[in-house]
Structures are given as structure tokens and as C-alpha cells.
């Protein structure tokens, strides 16, 4: 099946398709290797974006080029996936990083920076400084969300 | 077999090996991730790699059938990752 289909492709189209495929897959492998090897979560959150932006861009351009040459008409529906990934990847990773930061602060970890000071008038004095500070942060976030 | 077909067959095979290895790494991080956010991040990476593998299958077989599957994976993956991040943040998804 592969040979029968790919035999119709001229060499000037097969060469960039092959190179872009290998580049995209190699970038995805590099990003996932970073996910496996890096030390902390905040380092690991950077690594897979290599594959989710540039890697998938290369694979989609290869697919567009391949099907456009094969069907002798412009095949552009891969642009849908490209636009969707470009829009959604920062959103999901920012949500995830904020959730991780919230969890680390809630546990009192010293690996993360302290929370920003609460807005004026939102803080009350309590016997336990840490939990009161956390509660003030929760109230500030709730007020921000409303 | 022409030179173009040979080049394309081997590069598609190598790209599939790369992507399969990347999916194995991400699955390792899903299973042995020390904390919940590591597992969610690895799941995100896993579905992106699976989507790229489906696109590579589409190039290998020459059909555009795999494109729809890749699009569905992209849509559902975004929804699932943001729902899991919301769950980690708040303890519930819909409040």
C-alpha cells in the first residue's frame, strides 16, 4: 500500500516531506526525553512544548505537502489542527502550572516563591500566620474570579 | 521501487519509531510521575505524540481518514487536560 501510493510522488516532494517528518518526530522525542529526565515539575513543564509547537508544525506541513502533491490540489485542512494546538497549548499549560503552584504553596513547600501580598483590606489577624495567609489568598482569588 | 518511495518509506518508519519511543517515555512519566501534576503533564504529552503518530500513519497509507481521528484527539485532549488541571486546582471540575 505504501509503495503503491508513494511511487506517484516525485522526488522533489518526497525529500522535504521526509525531512520535515524526521524533524518533527525528532523534536517530539527530544521534548519527551526532557519530560523524562528533567528534575522538577517547573522544569519539566517547558520540555514537551518543543514537540507540541514546532514538532507538530513540522509534521502538519509535511502532511499538507504530501497530500497536496498527491491529489494535485491544495489540501489545507491540517491548518485546523495547527491553529487549534497553537491556541490551546499555552492555555492548558498555564492552567496546569497555576494548579501546581497552588498545590505547592498549600503544602508549604520552600521550592516555590511565596504568594503575592493580598489586596488592601482583605487581611485579618489570626493566631496562626500561615493558615490565615492561605485563607486570605483564597478569598483574594475568589474575589478575583467573581 | 523508485528512490522517492524508498526515501519516504524509511523516513516514515523512522519517524514512527521516534514517536513510539516518545510515547513510551510519556507513559513512563504517567505511571511513575511523583505527583499528580506530573501525570497530567505527561498525559498531555502522550496525546500530542499519539496525534502526530496518527498523522504519520496517514502519510504512510495515503488516506486522509486519519486526519479526523487526529482532530478528535486534539479536541478531547484539550478538554481533558484543562478539566484535570481544574480538578487539581479546586478539587472538583464543575462548581
Please list every residue in chain B whose beta carbon sits closer than 8 Å to the beta carbon of residue A1: 61-62
Which residues fall within 8 angstroms of residue B1, CB to CB, at 6 or more apart?
A: A3, A7, B9
Residue with cell 525531512: A19
* Cross-chain residue pair B59–A88, CB shorter than 8 Å: no
Give the number of other Cβ atoms within 10 Å of residue A11's Cβ. 12
CA A116 from chain centre, in angstroms, equals 25
Please list every residue in chain B whose beta carbon sits closer than 8 Å to the beta carbon of residue A142: none
Pick B8's closest partner by Cβ from A9, A56, A63.
A9
Pick A28's closest partner by Cβ from B5, B19, B40.
B19
Please list every residue in chain A whose beta carbon sits closer than 8 Å to the beta carbon of residue B67: 63, 77-78, 81
pLDDT class of A51 with cuts at 50, 70, 90:
confident
Q: Which domains does chain B have, with CATH numbers?
A: 3-90 (1.10.287)
**Residue A59: per-residue pLDDT:** 93
- The pTM for the full model equals 0.80
pLDDT class of B95 with cuts at 50, 70, 90:
low
The CA dihedral of A17, A18, A20, A26, to the nearest 10 degrees, is 160
User: What are the φ and ψ backbone dihedral angles of A7, each rounded to 5 degrees?
Assistant: -70, -20
What are B11's three cell numbers?
523516513
Enter the ipTM.
0.89
pLDDT, average across residues B5-26? 92
Q: Which residue has the higher pLDDT, A65 or B92?
A: A65
pLDDT, average across residues A60-66? 92
Q: Which residue has the higher pLDDT, A127 or B82?
A: B82
Minimal Cα distance from B4: which residue of A? A11
Residue with cell 520540555: A47
Q: Which of B4, B50, B64, B73 is nearest to A76 (CA)?
A: B64
What are B62's three cell numbers?
495515503
pLDDT class of A3 with cuts at 50, 70, 90:
very low
Distance, in Å, from the CA atom of A13 to the CA atom of B72, rounded to the nearest integer, reads 28
Q: Which of A138, A140, A142, A146 is nearest to A105 (CA)?
A: A138
**Residue B6: per-residue pLDDT:** 86
Amino acid at each position: 500500500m505504501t509503495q503503491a501510493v508513494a511511487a506517484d510522488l516525485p522526488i522533489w516532494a518526497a525529500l522535504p516531506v521526509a525531512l520535515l517528518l524526521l524533524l518533527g518526530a525528532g523534536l517530539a522525542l527530544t521534548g519527551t526525553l526532557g519530560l523524562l529526565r528533567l528534575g522538577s515539575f517547573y522544569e519539566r513543564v517547558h520540555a514537551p512544548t518543543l514537540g507540541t509547537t514546532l514538532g507538530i508544525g513540522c509534521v502538519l506541513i509535511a502532511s499538507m505537502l504530501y497530500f497536496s502533491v498527491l491529489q494535485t490540489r491544495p489540501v489545507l485542512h491540517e491548518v485546523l489542527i495547527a491553529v487549534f494546538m497553537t491556541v490551546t497549548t499555552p492555555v492548558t499549560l498555564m492552567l496546569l502550572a497555576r494548579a501546581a503552584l497552588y498545590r505547592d504553596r498549600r503544602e508549604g513547600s520552600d521550592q516555590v516563591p511565596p504568594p503575592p501580598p493580598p489586596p488592601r483590606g482583605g487581611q485579618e489577624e489570626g493566631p496562626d500566620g500561615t493558615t490565615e495567609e492561605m485563607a486570605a489568598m483564597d478569598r483574594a482569588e475568589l474575589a478575583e474570579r467573581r | 521501487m523508485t528512490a522517492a518511495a524508498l526515501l519516504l518509506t524509511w523516513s516514515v518508519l523512522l519517524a514512527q519509531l521516534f514517536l513510539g519511543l516518545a510515547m513510551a517515555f510519556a507513559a513512563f512519566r504517567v505511571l511513575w510521575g511523583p505527583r499528580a501534576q506530573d501525570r497530567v503533564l505527561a498525559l498531555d504529552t502522550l496525546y500530542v505524540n499519539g496525534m502526530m503518530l496518527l498523522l504519520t500513519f496517514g502519510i504512510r497509507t495515503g488516506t486522509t481518514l486519519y486526519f479526523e481521528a487526529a482532530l478528535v484527539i486534539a479536541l478531547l485532549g484539550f478538554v481533558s487536560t484543562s478539566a484535570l488541571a481544574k480538578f487539581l486546582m479546586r478539587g472538583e471540575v464543575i462548581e
